[in-house]
Amino acid sequence: MHPITCPHCGNTLPIENIMQDREPGKARGRCKECKIWVPILLPSIRKKLVYLDQSFLSAACLEANSTNSQNEMCILSKLTKLKALQRIFVVVSDVHSRETSAIPDEYVENRKELWQFQNDLADGSISDDWDEVFVAQWRRILADQDNSNSFSASDIGLDNPHQFQIGMRIQLTNHWRLKLHRDEARPRDTVNKAFRGIFERQLENMPNCEDVRDCLSYVRELWRKDIRQGIASWRQRRDLHMQMEQIVKELEAGRIPVMPPCEAPGSFCRVVGEAVQGLDEESTLQRWLELLEGDSTNLCACVRIRSALEAALLWKWKTAGATTNPKKFDIRFGQSRQNDIDHISTFVPYVDALTTDNDMRNLCEAEVVADELKKFSCKIFSKSNYDEFETWLDALLAEPMTHNVRV
């Protein structure tokens, strides 16, 4: 990067006199000679987005002195250099917050240390959860702005991760996220019991599937059904709201109105409402229903990936059976595995590299999952191929510097 000089006197602005501006893409520096603040235009550069899963982050932060985490520490060292060079942006999400908040209270210091470590890596920018990405992807499709080859980082809640950074900047702590998730969390055994029930009901109602592709068709039809129910539920709530004015008028006139039936909202009611907000509601919902009648290419990316992972997992249960051991169930099918599915299905379309555990990477290599993942350029690494991750990072470190800023 070239030195930044004052346009009035030509004096070099020391880095400690430069700070990020509130306005995106800008910074300002104070000239010691002129005693004035100089606006600085920051370039937007193409950083690689890297998503590190909880197993990697825990090993790098909490097991730093363990011989089992030597690979993670070596990779972390290279990631830190690349971050300082602004070649990469580390993505940390609300899924990480949910997983970190689940650390028991007897390890509260570990919980705080891990979250601060994650927060520092991401410079306080915490990405959205799966639900928000579902809404963002469907909004693009429904507004006829879908481009399957381009996924904006704004979908995952990042304004501009490629923005060049210079000087001092305020970094958020986001500790409130841990408290929020802990306050809302259900016991892990309760959550896993619910997941077991879902798998059992799906198997009970499964048609005669000859292979995993038949199973995928079945799972995707379940997704279509849930979205349709969400649309119907949102319409009912909208219509009920519209009827309330008439009901109030009837009551004011001393008449007893006929109360419309009110059912509990469907699980997708909220996200349906967010997806159509600001659009022509009825025509948008009709278009959505028409898309759901088409083939799988009409589904948004996060649903296509997630349904493929769920089908591979369901087929594994059907063909190999499920474990009765609670800990093994959690890892293979339960909350731990579902968090991994959140990581993969949410962020693969947006990041250049992503880490996961060996079992999850093996699941990603299942035929129906690999067919979806190959549509994206993201590289998936786990402990069994961290050497390839290091090679990828080394290539980034070897690239020449090209950053320039203007005043």
Kindly tell me if the per-residue pLDDT of 339 is higher than 80.
yes
The pLDDT of residue 254 is: 76
**pLDDT at residue 361 above 80?**
yes
Mean pLDDT of 15-26: 70
Q: What is the pLDDT of residues 109-122, one digit of tens each?
A: 999 999 999 999 99
More confident residue, 128 or 31: 128
**Percentage of residues in the chain having pLDDT higher than 90:** 61
Encoded tokens for 158: 């990042």
Residue with tokens 């759901």: 292
Give the residue with greater pLDDT, 24 vs 105: 105
Side-chain half-sphere CA neighbours of 60 within 13 A: 23
Give the pLDDT band (50/70/90) at residue 66: confident
Question: What is the predicted pLDDT for the residue at 331?
Answer: 93
Go through the chain and tell me how many residues it has: 407
Number of C-beta neighbours around residue 296 at 10 A? 15
Taking residues 62-87, report their average pLDDT.
90
Rounded Cα distance between 103 and 181, Å, is: 11
Whether the per-residue pLDDT at 183 is higher than 60: the answer is: yes
Which residues are bridge partners to 37 per DSSP? Answer: 30
| Range of weakest confidence among 71-85, 94-108, 137-151 | 137-151
> In percent, how much of the chain has pLDDT > 70?
89
Residue range 259-279, pLDDT digits in tens: 666 666 678 899 999 999 999
All structural domains of the chain with their residue ranges: 1-42, 48-195+332-397
Phi/psi of residue 254, nearest 5 degrees? 85, 10
Q: How far apart are the two ends of the chain, measured CA to CA in Å? A: 13
